[in-house]
Amino acid sequence: MNTDPAPPVIVFDGVCLLCSRWVRFLLKHDRAARYHFASMQSDSGRTLLLAHGLDPESPLSFLLVEGGRGYTDSDAIVRVLHGLGARRWRWLGRAIRLAPRWLRDPMYRFVARHRYRIFGQSRACFLPTPGQRARFMP
């Protein structure tokens, strides 16, 4: 019987260039390989979004599933930064958290809603390297 908790999973938009850059950033700075990933276009990503009450077709969908609980919007970003472990990322997460949620969540949603126009969109989902593939859900 496996009693290891499931690793935290980040569900991201695989065709969004901003989201793909965020995943590349996490792959580089998550030295403990703590986070796993699922694109919202994949079956596992869609399933996780639906299980946590999010629309898989919504451009606002960003989800961190950690300890069986789902986190969205700026709370998800703050938790991910804190989970990277490095002091500078924890400090950045704390700085973001200083802004009240009523301010930071609408800012997050504005960027999310306009991310294709601002940052661009790819025709295909982000593809991990063979060394990164084990951290991506099908």
| Secondary structure (DSSP) of the chain | ---PPPPPEEEE-TTBHHHHHHHHHHHHH-TT---EEEETTSHHHHHHHHHTT--TT-TT--EEEETTEEEEHHHHHHHHHHHT--HHHHHHHHHHHHS-HHHHHHHHHHHHHHHHHHH-B-SS-----TTTGGGB--
Give the structural domain span for 93.
9-135
Residue 1 lies in a domain: no
Q: Model-level pTM?
A: 0.89
pLDDT, position 2: 45
Q: Is the pLDDT of residue 15 over 70?
A: yes
Is residue 92 situated within a structural domain? yes
The reported pLDDT for the residue numbered 106 is 93
* Position 128 in a domain: yes
Question: Does residue 4 lie in a domain region?
Answer: no
Is 138 a residue whose pLDDT tops 90? no
Count of structural domains, the chain: 1
User: What are 17-76's pLDDT values in tens digits?
Assistant: 999 899 999 999 999 999 999 999 999 999 999 999 998 888 677 899 999 999 999 999
Identify the residue whose tokens are 């077709």.
57
Residue 71: strand pairing partners: 64
2 inside domain? no
